[in-house]
Amino acid sequence: MKSSQVKRLERLYRRRVKPGEVISLELARELSDISLEIRRQLGILVSRIGEIAYVVVGDERALMIPHLEDYPLGRRLLRGIRLVHTHLKGEPLSDDDLTDLSLLRLDMVAALQLTQNPDRFSIQTAALVPPEGHNLPYQVEPSIPFAKFDLDFRSFVETLEQTLERGLKEGTLVATGQERGILISVTQRPMEEAVDSMEELKELARTAGVGVLDTVIQRPKEFNPRYLLGEGKIREVLIKALQFGATMLVFDQELSPAQVRSISELTELKVIDRSQLILDIFARRATSQDGKVQVELAQLKYLLPRLIGRGVQMSRLMGGIGGRGPGETKLEVDRRRIRDRIAHLERELKELSNGRYQRRQKRVKAGIPIISIVGYTNAGKSTLLNTLTRSEVFTEDLLFATLDTSSRRLRFPMDREVIITDTVGFIRSLPKSLLGAFKATLEELKDADLLIHLVDCSNPRFEEQIVQVDAILTELELSQKPKLLVFNKADLLPELKKGDPLAFMKVRQVGRRYGAITISAADRKSLEPLLKELQQRFWHDVEDYQAPGQHHDEFEE
């Protein structure tokens, strides 16, 4: 462009638009004149107070919207800025225009439809609308001659925001101030497995305090290496997420660092995967020194390959011959600090592990049998420990309600005792960094004389959960340990029988196949068969089993 044309563009920044106008007639004429002269599309981004924030020059067919760092979206439904641009051949708003409107959550997009006469042109506008069924997220108005265009923009945008907020509240049941997420699964597994995994992700989201707005399951023939989803599908999901007022996208599959970066470049929403969600839950639930160290270690190992540098502008200079240059970048400094912190935490974890080892050795020398309760998360392990030993270990109907290992004594008649240990729950696709960190805690299982594998038999996926727990025990080299399968939540089986007789029959059949004992951990009376089995396993000379309640010390800690 000529220098005179550049100066004309620069002078546009001095212009002001009245808050009640989309664009003034004078400014519209100036845009039209410059655009026709340079034969390029020309656009301005105008704030609600009438300041021109950006002047954008495109080519003959389109223009590229810059990053709008000064107008972040945050929790707002609209960005507070509108786009007015020229169309050289008088064409209507394009798909790119409407995609920008939806993805960037602009207050409005307006196209000045030019003719060869700079004084004669039409205007066409489009704005977002509340989500209703499967309608488009925007509404496009018909084009009209600019001279007849009359719109009070301030009133329009205020009404639009109120309508969007009202539609959002009516369409969702998410609490105010809560994180709002769209759950996404991209898998080639059978649809039934994908749905089961998505249901589990919903529970994880609920535990983490994320309100679920919608779920998306895609089963592609091939994974997109950049976005995991197809490019068209990811844009569709992003538009839906913004339309519903989501603050984050949660993927059921683990994303590579490159995929997180690629998706984050398309949106300002937070992008996390299943592993990161589990790590966040663990970070909230860890209370002991052991738990806090292990969670921080797992988080740092997860974070290390995902650090993103910002270029040499954040580098430090270093002197010396051969050393003149960018020096050590901020990214390298961050990585080195994380590696140092990981090394420190691993040393601390080793010391804590040594302390646990000494305590375990004392138990072994005392000759008291050790029983460890293992199982899928939320199977009722802590509830069973509390009921057996009259303890008050924290319990709640959430995944990973307790992370820290708890040990209590259980006294049987004839002054016989066992030590019962509660462990962290297992889950499918447990992050490797987390499993590695919690191996220190799970060392308790190696000294156990018996593993009680507790199963929530009221869960439709209970059989798959048994397989998952067995797989993790094999990974921990504990598959040869004596195990006792116990089906918990028997009090829910009558309801299961009413709702789905086939599911109830499946529970009975699997229980018989595995030789499982059926109990309700919340009901002490139902534990009689379990206590009898434990006595017979450890003390074969027991002839008459005494039911709970006949000895006051039977459930002493």
C-beta separation of 244 from 171 below 8 A? yes
pLDDT computed for residue 329 by the predictor = 66
Q: What is the pLDDT of residue 440?
A: 55
Q: How far apart are CA 128 and CA 134, in angstroms?
A: 14
Sign of CA dihedral 342, 345, 350, 356: negative
| Helix orientation angle between 330-366 and 432-442, rounded to the nearest 10 degrees | 30
The tokens of 304 are what?
A: 């290390």
Dihedral over Cα of 466, 470, 471, 473: its sign: positive
Q: What's the pLDDT at 319?
A: 43
- Among 407, 476, 436, 405, residue whose Cα is nearest residue 279: 436
Confidence at residue 540, expressed as pLDDT on a 0 to 100 scale: 62
Q: What's the pLDDT score for residue 347?
A: 87
Could you report the average pLDDT of every consecutive run of 10 residues in the chain (557 residues)?
A: 90 91 92 92 93 93 87 80 93 91 92 83 92 76 92 92 77 62 91 87 87 90 88 87 86 88 85 86 74 81 70 40 52 84 86 72 73 85 83 60 68 79 75 62 74 87 86 83 88 70 78 86 86 82 46 34
Q: What is the pLDDT of residue 320?
A: 43
- Spatial contact of 443 and 364, defined as CB atoms under 8 Å apart: no
Q: Can you give the pLDDT at residue 314?
A: 38
Report the alpha-carbon distance of residue 414 to residue 224 in Å, rounded.
Answer: 65
Q: Is the pTM of this model over 0.85?
A: no
Rounded CA gap, 306 and 159, in Å?
Answer: 42
Q: Strands 248-251 and 81-87, how do they pair?
A: unpaired
